[in-house]
Amino acid sequence: MIYLITGPAGVGKSTISRKIAESLPKTVLIEGDDIYHFVVGGYVSPWKDGNHLSLFWKNCEDLIKNSAKAGYDVVFNYVLGQEDVEKLKNKFGKFGIKFVCLIVDEKTILKRDKLRPKDCQMRERCLVLLKEIRDEKFDEKFMLDTSNLNEHQTLQEILHNDRFLL
């Protein structure tokens, strides 16, 4: 199974992705941000012109493919758009995919952002990304509002609810 976890910065993608990976017997966790930061010289933020998203996607697709072919479950998290999800579904659907878009209310996302290390806090950018995710208009069945859920409840919902199957 491949788990695609998306949502705005500060929503808890990394935390929940790690919990999913830790709960499964044979799993690879792919943190999209870590892959994007492989580039050091010539680094450009992903939302700016001249970014290296093309290389990023090649790296991510190879990691997903190699891991899934080796019999591992894969947990991949990144800020995904509908086109990204469709592309991944077409490439890896044969492995089975669960897609979850985590969202929270504005107050909760700012509260969670403040819990991150200072150099990782996104402040207002969290709200911009929250709006962008909502504007993507993903099918409601893939949306999971975790404003009133703890980590365990969120994990159980993702692992045991078939509504997230692509």
Instruction: Work out how many domains the chain is built from and give that number.
Output: 1
| Rounded-to-integer distance, Cα 65 and Cα 67, Å | 6
Lowest mean pLDDT: which of 60-64, 122-126, 153-157?
122-126
| Rounded-to-integer distance, Cα 12 and Cα 28, Å | 18
**With 90 as the cut, is the pLDDT of residue 113 above it?**
no
pLDDT tens for 18-50 read: 999 999 999 999 999 999 999 999 999 888 999
| Predicted confidence band of residue 118 (pLDDT cuts 50, 70, 90) | confident
Q: What is the CATH number of the domain that holds 40?
A: 3.40.50.300
- pLDDT for position 151: 94
> Is 88 within 8 Å of 120 (Cβ atoms)?
no
pTM of the model as a whole = 0.91
pLDDT tens for 129-145 read: 888 888 888 999 999 99
Query: What SS3 string covers the chain?
Result: CEEEEECCCCCCHHHHHHHHHHHCCCEEEEEHHHHHCCCCCCCCCCCCCCCCHHHHHHHHHHHHHHHHHCCCEEEEECCCCHHHHHHHHHHHHHHCEEEEEEECCHHHHHHHHHCCCHHHCCCHHHHHHHHHHHHHCCCHHHEEECCCCCHHHHHHHHHHCHHHEC
Q: Where in the sequence is the domain holding 111, given as residue range(s)?
A: 2-164
